[in-house]
Amino acid sequence: MRVGVVGATGYAGLELLRLLASHPDVEVCVATGDSNAGKSVARHAPALAALYPELSFESTEAILSAQIDVAFLALPHGESQRYVPQLVARGVKVVDLGADFRLKDARDYSEWYHEEHRAPELLEQSVYGLVERHRKELVGASLIAVPGCYPTASALALGPFLDRRVVANEGVVVNALSGVSGAGRAPSDRLHFSRLAGNAEAYGLVDHRHTIEIQREIGAELLFTPHLVPTSRGELVTAYARVLEPRFDSSSAMDLLRETYADDAFVVVVDEPPTLKDPVGSNLCFVSARVDTRTGWLVAMSSLDNLIKGAAGQAIQAWNVASGFDEATGLPRSGVTP
């Protein structure tokens, strides 16, 4: 299939280019990035030089006339809304890594993103691209909304327990750590080496945009606090929920995770608490859980690579399912060590 990657010069876009090069059914025909239009991929990202020796970036507008079957969009929030309606009207399948089509209610965008949605008529058409929870809905989908990295890690850790109603859907707490690539490529004061190195910082307190996405996906009210840590990749979630069943213990929690993910290629249930580094370089998500019977709290944990299972890899996995390919096609199932 002929593929275009929009926003290909950012971290998620470059990861799309890297992973798509391994997909046997893909030809990347167009890669866009306004600030680097005319510049070769090899010059912008030498790590990809052997994969794309001749491909150069074009302006974003070029995607609207490109002869492609599918467009992967890795743009800042709000930008996808400018292009998706026209692409969908042309019959191009769209996989959007941004937040523009993740929420079904346009009012959520007004409240949490502080702007009106410009294509609300497409919200019902979009399918949430978390394969492990929406595999059936994704089959044949023409507009895929790829989940954010925090919602992915949170939903895979907590979802099985909320789905079975063994924990309360109120008072849920999610604490998360993420590497700096999750903040994107644009420089900022808090990403300076002198501030970041040896540091850790909470941000988006109380009103982080991913809060509403997590709530809608798992059906629970929660307090979400993300933290920036001085590593380039990786994400670690530790979440807490009140246990409703008196005899539900750590063994029960682990059995539930193993049962839920027994047939999922990219979710690994581990006995020990997952580390931030274990999944880096892969499309894997590691999950584990404990129940503190003394206090009555479930502790659910997960880790993933925020640029792969949290972005580009997840996008390809969801598109694979929508297109009838094996969902693991072109995706790494092992991390890098050390």
Given 125, 159, 181, which residue is the final one in a domain? 125
**66-75: per-residue pLDDT in tens?**
999 999 999 9
Let me know if residue 324 belongs to a domain: no
pTM of the predicted model as reported, rounded to 2 decimal places: 0.96
**23-79: per-residue pLDDT in tens?**
999 999 999 999 999 999 999 999 999 999 999 999 999 999 999 999 999 999 999
Residue 263: is its pLDDT beyond 90?
yes
**140-159: per-residue pLDDT in tens?**
999 999 999 999 999 999 99
Residue 185: is its pLDDT beyond 90?
no
Let me know if residue 261 belongs to a domain: yes
Residue 188: is its pLDDT beyond 90?
no
Give the Cα separation of 169 and 17 in Å (integer). 39
Residue 173, φ and ψ in degrees, nearest 5: -120, 130
Same-domain status, 209 and 259: yes
For residue 312, the model assigns a pLDDT of: 98
Highest mean pLDDT among 168-172, 178-182, 190-194: 168-172
Query: Residue 338: pLDDT band by 50, 70, 90 thresholds?
Result: confident
Same-domain status, 43 and 167: no
Query: Residue 184: pLDDT band by 50, 70, 90 thresholds?
Result: confident
Same-domain status, 171 and 110: no
Query: Which position among 149, 180, 218, 280 bears the catalytic label?
Result: 149
Tokens at residue 143, please?
């507009």
Residue 203: is its pLDDT beyond 90?
yes
CATH no. for residue 15?
3.40.50.720
**88-109: per-residue pLDDT in tens?**
999 999 999 999 999 999 999 9
- Determine which of 1-5, 125-129, 185-189 has the lowest per-residue pLDDT on average: 185-189
**303-330: per-residue pLDDT in tens?**
999 999 999 999 999 999 999 999 999 9
Residue 161 near residue 167 (C-beta atoms within 8 A) = yes
For residue 276, the model assigns a pLDDT of: 96
Residue 53 near residue 80 (C-beta atoms within 8 A) = no
If you average pLDDT over residues 195-214, what whole number do you get? 93
Same-domain status, 283 and 168: yes
For residue 27, the model assigns a pLDDT of: 97
Q: Could you write out the three-class secondary structure of the chain? A: CEEEEECCCCHHHHHHHHHHCCCCCCEEEEEECHHHCCCEHHHHCHHHCCCCCCCEEECHHHHHCCCCCEEEECCCCCCHHHCHHHHHHCCCEEEECCCCCCCCCHHHHHHHCCCCCCCHHHCCCCEECCHHHHHHHHCCCCEEECCCHHHHHHHHHHHHHHHCCCECCCCEEEEEEECHHHHCCCCCHHHCHHHHCCCCEECCCCCCCHHHHHHHHHCCCEEEEEEECCCCCCEEEEEEEEECCCCCCHHHHHHHHHHHCCCCCCEEECCCCCCCCCCCCCCCEEEEEEEECCCCEEEEEEEECCCHHHHHHHHHHHHHHHHCCCCCCCCCCCCCCC
Active site residue 149: yes
Query: Residue 182: pLDDT band by 50, 70, 90 thresholds?
Result: confident
Rounded mean pLDDT of the chain?
96
Residue 190: is its pLDDT beyond 80?
no
Residue 160: is its pLDDT beyond 80?
yes
CATH no. for residue 296?
3.30.360.10
* Domain total of the chain: 2
For residue 70, the model assigns a pLDDT of: 98
Classify strands 235-242 and 297-304 as parallel, antiparallel or unpaired.
antiparallel
Tokens at residue 28, please?
């990347």
Let me know if residue 329 belongs to a domain: no
For residue 189, the model assigns a pLDDT of: 77
Q: Domain range for residue 214?
A: 149-305
**288-309: per-residue pLDDT in tens?**
999 999 999 999 999 999 999 9
Greater pLDDT, 187 or 126: 126
Query: Residue 10: pLDDT band by 50, 70, 90 thresholds?
Result: very high
Let me know if residue 293 belongs to a domain: yes
Let me know if residue 332 belongs to a domain: no
